[in-house]
Amino acid sequence: MSDIDSVVAEALQLFTDLQDLKKVYSQKVMRLEHSFSEEDWKEHRKNGLFLFKYDRPVFNKDLFLQLIRDVCNCIKRNRPEIKEQIKSISKFFDGVTDDFFEDFLLDGHKVSPSPLSFSPEEQNLLNFVVRQALYPFLEKYVSLLPQEVGDDGWQRNYCPVCGEKANLSYLRQEDGKRYLICPFCGQEWLYRYLACSWCGNEDHKSIRYFEVAELPGYEVYLCEQCHGYLKTFNAKKAVSHEDWVLEDVKTIALDLLAQQEGYTGPGKRIM
């Protein structure tokens, strides 16, 4: 097995375990109706303000902390060499208040300020753990949104729900339309077919893509203006795919190829 195959296999096991864990907790999250007004909706559509500016998920702190504990245990099982870092991160949540959730959602989806005693690697790991534990709540929130969220009335390069940029996209088999996928809340939204999802560049001559035979159905779009890249699943070239989180992990080799050519994409993964 090559080095990259080994990395992918280990990462896939970790993320598979995390996805299974989050599915269990998703069943425990309460169904709550949204509270944004008609005026909020109009402003969202007209001015491009993401929905979290008006209305945010309700978090059960006790349930969240239970999931934090289970996420940390899952990481320790899969990555025993970082168990001491995980212990430090677990202690951080002893003092979490109700304001923590809103601050995280509206302050770049990261813990701010980060604990001064944490190294950059521990800060990244802390944010990773929080994002994993928030996902069942975000998933429930997104599932109850109107179908119009993310339709052709949006077409911006950031998520209409939380404001995060996509880490993946896909082309629908039936019509070739392109949808971006939010790595934070899971919302999908329609976007222009040949436009950079990072800088908005629409000059077709400065956008190209590559694909590799070992990963059928995947195209990696490269922007010559901002040197960003985006992995895209073309449903006309492959008939099926797994959970998007797992697809992102399975295609790490494409990230490496793009980065070797000098392009940048989503932030570094916690492996």
pLDDT per residue over 151-160, tens digit each? 999 999 999 9
Do residue 109 and residue 185 come from a single domain? no
Same domain, 51 and 179: no
pLDDT of residue 105: 93
Residue 151 forms part of a structural domain:
no
Q: How confident is the model at residue 267 (pLDDT cuts 50, 70, 90)?
A: low
Averaged pLDDT of the chain: 92
Give helix 120-143 / helix 61-78 axis angle, nearest 10°: 130
Which residues, at least 6 apart from 242, have a Cβ–Cβ distance to it below 8 Å? 250
Identify whether the C-beta of residue 182 lies closer than 8 Å to the C-beta of residue 161. yes
Does residue 14 sit in the same domain as residue 139? yes
Reply yes or no on whether the pLDDT at 247 is more than 50.
Answer: yes
In a domain, 243, yes or no: yes
Residue 130 placed within a domain: yes
DSSP state of 29: S
Q: Which of 91, 109, 143 is the last residue of a domain?
A: 143
pLDDT in tens, 191-235: 998 899 999 999 999 999 999 999 999 999 999 999 999 999 999
Domain housing 82: 3-143
Domain assignment present for 149: no
- Asked whether residue 135 is domain-assigned, the answer is yes
d(CA 185, CA 195): 22
Judge whether 60 lies within some domain.
yes
User: For residues 116 and 205, what is the distance between their CA atoms, to the nearest angstrom?
Assistant: 46
Question: At residue 271, does pLDDT exceed 50?
Answer: no
Sign of CA dihedral 178, 50, 128, 14: negative
Q: Are residues 137 and 180 in the same domain?
A: no
CB 149 within 8 A of CB 141: no
Q: Are residues 139 and 213 in the same domain?
A: no
101 with 227, same domain: the answer is no
15 and 134 share one domain:
yes
CB 71 within 8 A of CB 132: yes
Residues 183 and 255 in one domain: yes
**Whether 25 and 97 share a structural domain:** yes
Regarding whether 208 and 250 lie in a shared domain, the answer is yes
Count of structural domains within the chain: 2
Do 173 and 254 fall into the same domain?
yes
Burial letters for 129-144: b for 16+ Cβ neighbours within 10 Å, e otherwise? bbbbbbbbbbbbbbee
Q: Check pLDDT > 70 for residue 20.
A: yes
Give the three-state DSSP class for 231: strand
10 Å Cβ neighbour count for 214?
Answer: 9
Residues 120 and 219 placed together within one structural domain of the fold: no
Q: Is residue 126 part of a domain?
A: yes
Residue 32, pLDDT above cutoff 90: no
Rounded distance between C-alpha atoms, residue 207 and residue 210, angstroms: 11
Boundary-marking domain end, from 143, 176, 200: 143
Count of positions (residues) in the chain: 271
Q: Point out the domain boundary residue: 86, 108, 143.
A: 143
The verdict on residue 163 lying in a domain is no
- Residue appearing with tokens 């070239």: 237
